[in-house]
Amino acid sequence: MSTSVILLTREGAAAIRAGTGWGFVTTRTSDADGVGVVIAVSDGRGFPRPVGIVDRLHYLNVGDAKQNCTWHRVAADVNHWWLHCSAKRGVIAFDEFAGMIPGFRQPGGVTYLAITHAPDLDERHRQWATPEFAAWRVTPAGVLPLDLEVQREKAGTALLESHWPVGIVGAARFLVVGLGSIGGAAALALATAGAGTLDLVDPDRLRWHNLPRHVCGARHVGRMKAEAIRADLELLRPDTKVNAYGHDVVEDADHIRDLLPDVDVIVCAADGVAPRRVVSHLARRAGKPAILSCVLADGAYGDVVRLWPWPHHGCLTCRTEALADAGGLLPDLHADAGYGSAGHPMTAVGSDLHLVGQFAAKFAVATHLQGKGQHDQRFAGEHAVLALRPEPGWAAPYDLIRAGEVRWHSATPPRAGCSTCGPA
Ligand SMILES: [Zn+2]
């Protein structure tokens, strides 16, 4: 395959902008991938200066460098021609192309690349989206437009600034307890929403039997789950600062309590009754909202509940007892029935667990944004039941019939004598 996209880093674009009219460009290419990256730029006949790398793990950081390219300062109309030729899949005769670029040299039978820089785009060109930089494949037979990807000045979630409260989410800190298949997906979703800081807490290591459902791959087997996700997020979402802890939320509750003053919202995706109750208790005592997520009844339902530390909102225990009184199943008793532990068969499929984790992350981000006056992030209720593989026979609120159904419930008040909801 011939080169079909050229990458120009921010630094490369800056070097061309600062140049005096033309220069040489050094590229590194992968013919198999059809990609070339600009790695050095000269000003005229000067020495080519390195212009940065795309990413420290980019596949074009190694390979042979080629000086097969030049750059040229041009009138805006030249890059408008690029737009026109790209749309029509057209070819420009070599002489016509050379005539538009003063001092353009004859390729002499070889194929090479040219980058044209048009700094003086007027309002008309901006409306047409004429590019500031354009790339061309130059052959004696004709000149073809090439795809040129220029790195933008802004990076990461900042690109969403006009449509998403990037600043608010970027200043927020979320604690995720339990980094199994649900919690791992929640952590990725929180980072993708632009979370500024994540604290990840899980005492377990990633094992082979986790791989069919976990967001982390085999390269992390043996590592602490929290650390594995931290390492993946460092590459995937570098704007999010991630702290990984090997704490057990029940045994190391004091360590978790110490983290809470700086945390905005807690997401609990831990297996089992005890960790969920501890998170409910710690969150209420710290005055922080918590989102608790799990799957129930062998993966038939996802269950995501929000606990506010407010007087009229009961804790997890109060809520569970209220549901039991109303005839529903006790979610806590089923929370760890057969999923995730090595001795039990797996029930829910990984993608269903990820869906629940992403839903919990959305709920957590919305909880924070709602508190900051983002009214489009008010949620439909305080407790959502998602039907994943619904089964007949469950009592309300788990009496959903169709997969994909989401039913919302309101909060239940504290019960008399509750040691979590009562005064400390
Ligand atoms: Zn309570």
Residue 408: is its pLDDT beyond 60?
yes
Confidence of residue 1 (pLDDT cuts 50, 70, 90): very low
Quote the CA–CA distance of 47 and 58 in Å, as a whole number.
25
238-290 per-position pLDDT tens digit: 999 999 999 999 999 999 999 999 999 999 999 888 999 999 999 999 999 99
Q: What pLDDT is attached to residue 31?
A: 83
Distance from residue 414's CA to the centre of ligand 1 (Å): 5
DSSP 16-65: HHHSSSEEEEEEEEETTTTEEEEEEE-SBTSPPEE---S-TT-TTSSS-E
Distance from residue 325's CA to the centre of ligand 1 (Å): 15
Distance from residue 90's CA to the centre of ligand 1 (Å): 71
Tell me if 217 sits within 8 A of 211, measured CB to CB: yes
160-409: CATH, from 3.40.50.300, 1.25.40.420, 3.40.50.740, 3.40.50.720: 3.40.50.720
Q: What is the ipTM of this complex?
A: 0.99
Distance from residue 300's CA to the centre of ligand 1 (Å): 27
Distance from residue 272's CA to the centre of ligand 1 (Å): 18
- As a whole number, mean pLDDT of residues 95-106 equals 84
Q: Angle 396-402-404 (CA atoms, 0-180°, nearest 5)?
A: 100
Distance from residue 415's CA to the centre of ligand 1 (Å): 6
Please tell me which of 54-63, 95-104, 213-222 the model is most confident about, judged by mean pLDDT.
213-222
Q: What pLDDT is attached to residue 329?
A: 63
- As a whole number, mean pLDDT of residues 120-137 equals 94
DSSP label of 345: -
Quote the CA–CA distance of 353 and 183 in Å, as a whole number.
9
Q: What pLDDT is attached to residue 159?
A: 86
Note whether 5-150 and 160-409 share their fold.
no
Distance from residue 317's CA to the centre of ligand 1 (Å): 5
Distance from residue 419's CA to the centre of ligand 1 (Å): 7
DSSP 198-231: EEEE--PBP-GGGTTT-SS-GGGTTSBHHHHHHH
Confidence of residue 343 (pLDDT cuts 50, 70, 90): low
Instruction: Output Rg (C-alpha) for the chain, integer angstroms.
Output: 28
Distance from residue 332's CA to the centre of ligand 1 (Å): 14
- As a whole number, mean pLDDT of residues 6-21 equals 96
Distance from residue 407's CA to the centre of ligand 1 (Å): 23
Tell me if 356 sits within 8 A of 182, measured CB to CB: yes
- As a whole number, mean pLDDT of residues 367-377 equals 95
The third-level CATH classification (topology) of the domain covering 5-150 is: Cytidine Deaminase; domain 2 (3.40.140)
Mean residue pLDDT of the chain comes to: 91
193-244 per-position pLDDT tens digit: 999 999 999 999 999 999 999 999 999 999 999 999 999 999 999 999 999 9
Domain range list for the chain: 5-150, 160-409
Residues with CB under 5 A from ligand 1 (ion): 314-315, 318, 414, 418, 420-421
